[in-house]
Amino acid sequence: MISAETTLKVQFYDLDPMQVVWHGNYARFLEQARCALLDKIGYNYTEMAQSGYMWPIVDMRLKYVRPARFGQELRVIASLREYENRLRIEYRVLDHASGETLTKAETIQVAVLAETMELCLESPAALTDRVRGLL
């Protein structure tokens, strides 16, 4: 499948009182990798809007394996796993130096026709044609 990654450095404002990355900040880390993946496909949020669709996240799952700490460099990898009826993206947050897995995650997005707010049971050609062109 198609994958993309981003690198980031844990900042002080990412931490909770226990000096590890606060669990809610992982959604932001995933978003950065998801945008890199959508850019690679050529169907990021601007293209989604231009095609007449919105893609809300309807499910997000995270499994915290090891904590990330201040100053740590992270690699966040996003891999497209499904695209024909929904976008299912799998993520790995890794320690950049060792490659050790810190967090595993998954998001699911569905297509909604912007004009009517109608849920689409199949992904529109605006997405599927782009994905198939990269496979």
As a whole number of Å, the end-to-end CA separation of the chain is 7
pLDDT, residue 105, reads 98
Q: Do residues 60 and 105 make contact, with C-beta atoms less than 8 angstroms apart?
A: yes
Q: Is 80 left (phi over 0), alpha (psi -120 to 50) or beta?
A: beta
- On the question of pLDDT at 28 being above 90, the answer is yes
Give the mean model confidence (pLDDT) for residues 21-42: 97
Burial of 69: CB neighbours in 10 Å, binned 0-12, 13-18, 19+:
middle
CATH number of the domain to which 66 belongs: 3.10.129.10
- Is residue 1 scored above 90 in pLDDT? no
pLDDT digits (tens, 9 = 90+) for 43-63: 999 999 999 999 999 999 999
pLDDT band at 91 (very low <50, low <70, confident <90, very high): very high
Q: Residue 11 above 90 pLDDT?
A: yes
> How far is 75 from 55, CA to CA, in rounded Å?
25
Residue 67: pLDDT band (50, 70, 90) is very high
Mean pLDDT on 67-78: 98
Give me the domain span that covers residue 58.
Answer: 3-134
Nearest of 43, 31, 52 to residue 105 by alpha carbon: 31
The count of structural domains within the chain is: 1
